[in-house]
Amino acid sequence: MLLKEARDILSVRGHTLLCLQGFRGEGYSQGFVENMEQIHQTLTREPETPVRAVVRPDAICESCPNLGPAGCRLRGEGFESEMQAQDREVLQRLSIAEGEVLPWREILRRIGSNVASEALEQICGSCPWLPLGFCREGIDRLPARGVEE
């Protein structure tokens, strides 16, 4: 997924808004990592990038080897419904409506203000990345207002 310019609207799943906080250049395949790295770098460099919060496979999922016709199959067919439940939980905590478009800077502010790293166990359940602590560390680095103005 290559953004043509910072003004392109980037679709990101609700739970992936949190995953991006802990991204360390690892993932499910080389293609997945390269795609997520490009998106992560764009958002870091261009915090005004518009992001559409979705409850479905997103721009990051496009390169995931676990994406099937019915969505995420990381833990088998039907796993997409669990991912959608996580997406909705995150969007609710951030007071973001499904499909709403916000600048990345505002999403960071909302994560910093509304998601304590201790809540990740409840939100993320049995995510295989959770025990590594990357997302926890990333969220703990966010100031309560998100990013510096």
Is residue 61 assigned to a domain? Answer: yes
Interior CA angle at 146 toward 145 and 149, to 5°?
A: 80
Q: What is the pTM of this model?
A: 0.88
Is residue 144 assigned to a domain? Answer: no
Is residue 95 assigned to a domain? Answer: yes
Domain housing 104: 10-136
Is residue 145 assigned to a domain? Answer: no
Please state the domain count of the chain. 1
Is residue 78 assigned to a domain? Answer: yes
Is residue 25 assigned to a domain? Answer: yes
Question: What does the pLDDT profile of the chain (149 residues) look like in tens digits?
Answer: 444 444 589 999 999 999 999 999 988 999 999 999 999 999 999 999 999 999 999 999 999 999 999 999 988 888 999 999 999 999 999 999 999 999 999 999 999 999 998 999 999 988 888 999 999 999 999 986 445 44
Is residue 19 assigned to a domain? Answer: yes
Task: Say how far apart CA 128 and CA 3 lie, in whole Å.
Answer: 28
Instruction: Check if the beta carbon of residue 103 is closer than 8 Å to that of residue 50.
Output: yes
Is residue 28 assigned to a domain? Answer: yes
Residues 6+ apart with CB under 8 A from 113: 144, 145, 146
